[in-house]
């Protein structure tokens, strides 16, 4: 049908609610990267479906744009607000879950989180992550092995954690030395590692940005249960990004980033008897242990 009043003809699309989604998807069909074209098509379809369901006002959509803009502005070399956003929406955890479906006895993965943005300092086995000098000592021991039980010597164990007040070094550059609470260890001939640290406590994810405001506005608390992060790599094996969670923490049931797995909860027991002391430590001290099991690549 020819529209004589406007000059439009058959090739001029008449885009509206019913046709715009297909047109946008089609516009990306020429992308050389098929995976990219597929990802954009899926995102466009789901985003349009959300808009159709929500029917936002123009002011509401502008608020979305302003929120994302603020999220970008809040991000820099030591603060990753977009990772935080992905975390509180459960997307980071879902991506980890999808990519580690076939665990097959391997250690379960959890989110990387927003605080692994600096290089952990290489440390010797037995060293302390605590460069501030707390009195209370926590010994962490572990072994890295393959799913068939073979110990993995020379594996890289990257560790990072908040301190006993719930802060990472990058959050308190005036109080904590850079690298405090972090360490890069290499396992011994039996795949073992051990280090000293402080018992971490639960902490709020940063609430001074747009993601924190979103949580507060929606009545969600910002806390993560106490944990120590691990990123473990060994030749011929798939790396694993995981945590150990401190048993008994009040936020194990409501982690702000949806990453708790029962298999990763560990008791941080109190060692009081000198006969049970290890690595020359003098009781009382705390002790947690984890086996880190990797799948062959
Ligand atoms: Fe963390």
Output the DSSP codes for 84-128: HHHHHTTHHHHHHHHHT---TTSPPP----TT--SPPPB--TT-B
- Helices marked H in the chain — which ranges? 20-27, 34-54, 58-74, 81-88, 91-99, 210-217
Contact 194, 141 (CB under 8 A): yes
What CA–CA distance (Å, rounded) separates 37 from 43?
10
* The predicted structure's pLDDT at residue 113: 82
- Distance from the CA of 232 to the center of ligand 1, in angstroms? 16
With beta carbons less than 8 A apart as the criterion, state whether 21 and 28 touch.
Answer: no
pLDDT of residue 228: 97
Of the CA atoms within 13 Å of residue 294, those in its CB half-sphere come to 25
Please classify residue 55 by burial: count the beta carbons closer than 10 Å to its beta carbon, then call 0-12 exposed, 13-18 middle and 19+ buried: exposed
| Residue 46 CA to ligand 1 centre (angstroms) | 31
- Cα separation, 68 vs 74, in Å, equals 10
- pTM given for the model: 0.85
- Cα of 269 vs centre of ligand 1, distance in Å, is 21
- Report the chain's terminal Cα–Cα distance, integer Å: 60
pLDDT of 118 reads 76
Task: State in Å: Cα 178 to ligand 1 middle.
Answer: 16
Q: Do 142 and 157 contact (CB within 8 A), yes or no?
A: yes
What per-residue confidence (pLDDT) applies to 5? 63
Residue 122 makes CB contacts below 8 A (sequence gap 6+) with 183, 184, 185
Tell me the CA–centroid distance for residue 136 and ligand 1, in Å. 20
* Residue positions counted in the chain: 297
Sheet-wide strand order for 138-146:
192-197, 138-146, 285-294, 269-271
What's the 115 CA to ligand 1 centre distance in angstroms?
A: 7
CA distance 144 to 152: 6
Distance 64 CA to ligand 1 centre (A): 27
**From ligand 1's centre to the CA of 225, what distance in Å?**
9
- Find the 201 Cα to ligand 1 centroid distance in Å: 10
Point out which residues pair with 266 in neighbouring strands: 246
Q: Per-residue pLDDT for the chain (297 aa), expressed as one digit of tens each?
A: 555 566 777 778 789 999 999 999 999 988 999 999 999 999 999 999 999 999 999 999 999 999 999 999 999 987 889 999 999 999 999 998 898 876 678 999 998 887 887 789 999 999 999 998 888 899 999 999 999 999 999 999 999 999 999 999 988 989 999 999 999 999 999 999 999 999 999 999 989 999 999 999 999 999 999 999 999 999 999 999 999 999 999 999 999 999 999 999 999 999 999 887 889 899 999 999 999 999 999
| CA 228 to centroid of ligand 1, rounded, Å | 7
DSSP 62: H
């Amino acid at each position: 049908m020819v529209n004589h009043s406007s000059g439009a003809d058959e090739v001029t699309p008449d885009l509206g609610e019913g046709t715009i989604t297909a047109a946008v998807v089609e516009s990306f069909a020429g992308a050389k990267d098929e995976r990219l074209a597929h990802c954009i098509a899926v995102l466009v379809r789901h985003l349009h479906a959300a808009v159709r369901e929500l029917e936002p006002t123009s002011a509401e959509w502008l608020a979305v744009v302003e929120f994302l803009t603020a999220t970008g502005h809040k991000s820099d070399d030591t603060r990753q607000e977009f990772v935080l956003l992905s975390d509180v929406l459960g997307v980071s955890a879902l991506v980890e879950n999808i990519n580690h479906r076939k665990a097959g006895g391997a250690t379960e993965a959890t989110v990387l989180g927003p605080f692994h943005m600096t290089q952990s300092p290489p440390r010797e086995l037995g060293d302390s992550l605590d460069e501030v000098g707390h009195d209370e000592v926590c010994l962490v021991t572990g072994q890295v092995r393959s799913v068939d039980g073979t110990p993995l010597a020379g594996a890289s164990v990257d560790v990072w954690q908040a301190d006993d007040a719930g802060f990472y070094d990058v959050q308190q550059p005036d109080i904590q030395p850079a690298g405090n609470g972090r360490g890069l260890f290499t396992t011994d001939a039996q795949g073992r590692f051990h280090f000293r640290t402080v018992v971490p406590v639960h902490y709020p994810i940063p609430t001074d940005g747009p993601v924190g405001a979103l949580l507060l506005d929606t009545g969600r608390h910002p806390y993560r249960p106490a944990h120590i992060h691990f990123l473990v790599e060994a030749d011929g094996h798939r790396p694993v990004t995981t945590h150990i969670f401190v048993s008994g923490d009040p936020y194990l049931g409501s982690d702000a980033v949806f990453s708790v797995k029962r298999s990763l909860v560990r008791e941080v027991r109190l060692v009081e008897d000198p006969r049970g002391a290890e690595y020359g430590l003098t009781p009382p001290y705390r002790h947690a242990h984890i086996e880190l099991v990797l799948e062959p690549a």
